[in-house]
Structure 1
Amino acid sequence: MAQPVYGKKSTPLRYDEALPFSLWVLIIGFILFLVWAPFQVGLFNGQQADFEKPIYISTVIGSLMLIVWAVFYYKKFRFEDQRDLVALCVLLLPLTYFLSLFTAVSHYMAVNMLLIQSMYAALFIVFLYLLRQKLANQIIQSAILTLAYLIVWFGLLNWLGAWNVAGGAVGWFSNTVRAGKYLDAVMTDSNGLRLTSIFQYANTYAAFLMAFLFVAVYALVRAKKWYGIVIHSFMLVPIMISLLLTLSRGGLVMLPVVFVLLLLFQKPSRQILWIIHLIIAAAASLAIISKITSTGKHVAAVSDPSAAVEGWSWLIIACIVTSATCWSAQRFVAAGLEKRLEKGSPRKSANLWLPVGATVLVAAAAWLLIGTSARSILPANIETRLENINFKQHSVLERMTFYRDAFKVAKDYPVLGAGGGGWAALYEKYQNNPYVSRQAHNFFLQYLIEVGILGFIVFMGFILYVFYKYIRGYIRQTGTNDFENGFFYFIIALSILLHSILDFNLSYVFMGMLVFIGLAGMTAAMEPKPLEGKWKSAGLRYGYLGVTTVAALAILIVSISNITSTNDLADAKAIAQYSKSYEEIKAPLVRALKNRPAHPETIMMLASLDYQVYKQTKDEQYADEFFSLLQRALKEEPYNKQLLKLQTVLYDVLDKHEEAYAVYLDNQDKYIWDIEWYEQLITRASRLGIQAYLQQNETKKQEYFYTSLAAYQHVVDGIEYLQTLPSGQLQGRPFSVTPLIALSAGKVNQVTGQTETAASIIQTGFTGSYTALAGRNDLWSTKWYSDVIVLAYESGQPSYSEWLNILSTQGLDNPQAAANAKANFSMGLEAYYQVMSNIDNQAIPLSSAATLAVGKMKILTGDVVSAVTLLKGELSEDYSDPVNREIARWYLAGLKKVNSPLDQDVYNKLIAADAQEAGMIDQVAGMTPLS
Structure 2
Amino acid sequence: MSKPVYGKNAVQSRNVEKISSPVWALVVALIVFLVWTPFQVGLFNGQQIDYEKPIYVSSLLSGLLLLVWIGLYYKKFKLEEQRDVLAVASLLLPITYALSLFGAASHYMAMNILFIQSMYIAVFIIALYLLKQKQLNVVIQNAVLAIAYFIVGFGLLNWLGAWKFAGGLVGWFSDTVSGGKYLDAVMTDSNGLRLTSIFQYANTYAAFLMAFLFVAVFALVRSKKWYGTLTHGFMLVPIIVSLLLTLSRGGLVMLPVVFVLLLLSLKPVKQILWIIHLGIAGLASLAIASPVTNLGTELSTAFTSSAAFKGWAYLLGASAIVAACGWVIQRFVAPWLQNKLEGWESRKLAGLWLPLLSVVLVAVVAFLLIGTSARSILPANMETRLENINFKQHSVLERITFYKDAMKVVKDYPIIGAGGGGWASLYEHYQDYPYTSRQAHNFFLQYLIEVGIVGFVVFMGFIGYIFYKYIRGYLKRDKDEFDNGFIFYIIALSVLVHSILDFNLSYAFMGILVFIGLAGMGAAMDSKPLRRNWNKPGIRYSYLAVLAIGIIFMFFLSVSAVGSSNSVMKAKRLIGVSQSYEELKAPLMATLKGRPYHPEAAAYLASMDHQVFNQTKDEQYLNEAFSVLKRALKDEPNNKILLTLLASSYDLKGQNDLAFAVYRDNADKFNWDIEWYESLISRSQALARAANAEKDEAKKQEYLTTGLDAYKHVTDGVEHLKTLPPEQLQGRPFSVTPTIALNAGKMQQMAGQNEEAAATLKLGLGDAYADVVNSGTLWDTNWYSSLIARSYDLAQQAFTQQDANSKTTYLNVGLSAYNQVQADLQVQSLAIPPAIALNAGRIQLMSGQMQAASETLKLGLSEDYKDATNREMARWYLAALKKAGAAQDQAVYDKLIAADPAEAAQIDSIVNTQYQ
Q: Normalising to structure 1: TM-score of the pair?
A: 0.93
CA distance in 2, matches of 1:726, 1:183: 35
2:878–2:907: 8 Å Cα contact kept in structure 1? no
| Consecutive unaligned residues in structure 1, runs of 5 or more | 804-816
**Maintained 8 Å contact 1:742/1:764:** yes
Q: Which residue of 2 aligns with 1:873?
A: 859
User: 1:609-688 residue pairs with structure 2 within 5 A?
Assistant: 609-688=608-687
Identify the residue that residue 582 of structure 2 maps to in structure 1.
583
Is the 8 Å Cα contact of residues 782 and 842 (structure 1) preserved in structure 2? Answer: no
State the partner residue of 2:490.
Answer: 491
**Contact map agreement 2:250 2:501 (CA 8 A) in 1:** yes
Corresponding residue of 1:736: 735
Separation in structure 2 between the aligned mates of residue 478 and residue 923 of structure 1, nearest angstrom: 83
Match in the other structure for 1:788: 787
Letter in 2 for 1:585: L
Q: Which residue of 1 aligns with 2:319?
A: 319
**SS of the residue aligned with 2:597?**
coil
Amino acid at match of 1:832: Y
- Residue aligned with 2:576, SS: helix
Pairwise mapping of residues 759-908 of structure 1 onto structure 2 (< 5 A)?
759-767=758-766, 769-771=768-770, 773-796=772-795, 822-838=808-824, 850-859=836-845, 861=847, 863-876=849-862, 887-888=873-874, 891-892=877-878, 894-895=880-881, 900-907=886-893
- Which amino acid in 2 is paired with 1:552? I
Query: Unaligned 5+ residue runs, structure 2?
Result: none
CA shift for structure 1 position 712 = 1.1
Aligned residues of 1:782 and 1:845 also touching (Cα < 8 A): no
Q: Deviations over 1:548-585 (max 9, x none)?
A: 11111111111111111111111112222122111111
Contact 2:469 2:527 survives alignment (8 Å): no
- Higher alpha-carbon deviation: 584-593 or 313-322: 313-322
CA contact (8 A) 2:202 2:247 kept: yes
| Counterpart-to-counterpart distance in 1, 2:332 and 2:794 | 73
1:161 aligned residue = 161
Give the letter for the 1:551 counterpart: G
Change beyond 3 A, Cα 1:550–1:375: same
The more displaced of 421-430 and 824-833 is: 824-833
Amino acid aligned to 1:627: F
Worse overlay, 761-770 or 68-77: 761-770
| Contact map agreement 1:111 1:420 (CA 8 A) in 2 | yes
Are the structure 2 counterparts of residues 769 and 49 from structure 1 closer, same or farther at C-alpha, using a change threshold of 3 Å? farther
* Distance across 1 between alignment mates of 2:69 and 2:226: 36
Q: Distance in 1 between matches of 2:590 and 2:871?
A: 48
Which stretch shifts more, 345-354 or 895-904? Answer: 895-904
Alignment partners' CA distance in 1, 2:235 and 2:846 = 56
Q: Is 2:253 aligned against 1:253?
A: yes
Residue 551 of structure 1: aligned partner: 550
Residue 411 of structure 1: how far off its partner (Å): 0.7
How far residue 491 of structure 1 moved from its aligned partner, in angstroms, is 0.4
Distance 1:890 1:549 in 2: 70
Alpha-carbon shift at residue 228 of structure 1 (Å)? 0.9
| TM-score normalised by structure 2 residue count | 0.95
For the residues of structure 2 that align with 1:138 and 1:458, how far apart are their CA atoms? 30
Give the letter aligned to residue 583 of structure 1. Answer: E
Q: How does 1:100-111 map to 2 (within 5 A)?
A: 100-111=100-111
In 1, the alpha carbon distance for the partners of 2:268 and 2:674 equals 59
Is 1:209 matched up with 2:195? no
CA deviations 1:145-166 (Å, max 9, x no partner) are 1111111121122222222222
Q: Note closer, same or farther for the CA distance 1:221–1:686 as it changes in structure 2 (3 Å cut).
A: same
Q: Tell me the number of residue pairs that the alignment of Structure 1 and Structure 2 aligns.
A: 913
- Quote the Cα distance in structure 2 between the aligned partners of 1:771 and 1:113: 53
Please state how far the C-alpha of 1:511 moved relative to its aligned partner: 0.6
Which stretch shifts more, 171-180 or 487-496? 171-180
1:638/1:16 CA distance change after superposition, 3 Å: farther
Q: What is the CA-CA distance between 1:370 and the residue it aligns to?
A: 1.2
Deviation at 1:855, TM superposition (A): 3.0
Q: Deviations over 1:204-243 (max 9, x none)?
A: 1110110011011111111111111111111111111111
Cα 1:619–1:700 change in 2 (3 A) is same
Aligned 1:414-453 pairs, distance under 5 A: 414-453=414-453
Tell me the distance in 2 between the aligned counterparts of 1:578 and 1:654: 29
State the alpha-carbon separation in 1 of the partners of residues 37 and 809 from structure 2.
Answer: 41
Q: Which residue of 1 aligns with 2:225?
A: 225
Contact kept in structure 2, 1:766 and 1:773, CA below 8 Å: no
Say which is worse superposed, 138-147 or 882-891, in terms of deviation: 882-891
Give the 3 Å change call, closer, same or farther, for CA 861–591 of structure 1 in structure 2. Answer: farther
Query: After the TM superposition, which of the residue ranges 334-343 and 118-127 deviates more from structure 2?
Result: 334-343
1:475-501 CA-to-partner distances (Å, cap 9, x unmatched) read 1225333x1010011000000000000
Deviation at 1:332, TM superposition (A): 1.4
1:99 Cα offset (Å): 0.6
* Aligned partners of 2:218 and 2:487 also within 8 Å: yes
Amino acid at match of 1:511: M
Equivalent residue letter for 1:306: S
Structure-2 separation of matches of 1:802 and 1:183: 32
2 CA distance for matches of 1:865 and 1:34?
56
| Distance (Å, rounded) in 1 between the aligned partners of 2:501 and 2:242 | 19
- 8 Å CA contact retained: 1:569, 1:588: yes
Whether the 8 Å CA contact 1:868–1:891 is kept in 2: the answer is yes
| 1:333 equivalent in structure 2 | 333
Amino acid at match of 2:859: G
Match of 2:606 in 1: 607
Aligned to 2:60: 60
Contact kept in structure 1, 2:215 and 2:490, CA below 8 Å? yes
For the residues of structure 2 that align with 1:3 and 1:480, how far apart are their CA atoms?
25
Matched with 1:593 is: 592
In structure 2, the partner of 1:465 is 465
Matched residue SS, 1:194: strand
Rate the CA distance shift 1:609–1:361 in 2: closer, same or farther, 3 A.
same
- The 2-side partners of 1:32 and 1:449 are apart by 33
Residue deviations 1:752-803 (CA, integer Å, cap 9, x gap): 3332221111111113644554434443343442343344345556877999
Partners of 1:697 and 1:223 in 2: CA distance: 86
Counterparts of 1:118-157 in structure 2, within 5 Å, are 118-157=118-157
Partner of 2:571: 572
Q: Distance in 2 between matches of 1:601 and 1:822?
A: 26
Judge conservation of contact 1:743–1:831 (CA < 8 Å) in 2: yes
Corresponding residue of 2:287 = 287
State the Cα deviation string for residues 435-491 of structure 1 (Å, max 9, x = none).
11111111001101110100000000000000000001101225333x101001100
How far does residue 895 in structure 1 lie from its aligned partner after superposition? Answer: 4.3
Match for residue 809 of structure 1? none
Q: CA 1:11–1:171 in structure 2 vs 1: closer, same or farther (change >3 Å)?
A: closer
Distance in 1, Cα, partners of 2:499 & 2:655: 48
| RMSD, aligned CA | 2.6
Matched-pair contact (CA < 8 Å) for 1:880–1:913: no
SS at match of 1:343: helix
Q: Does residue 753 of structure 1 match 2:739?
A: no
Q: Match for 2:172: what amino acid?
A: W
For residues 273-422 of structure 1, the aligned pairs below 5 Å read 273-422=273-422
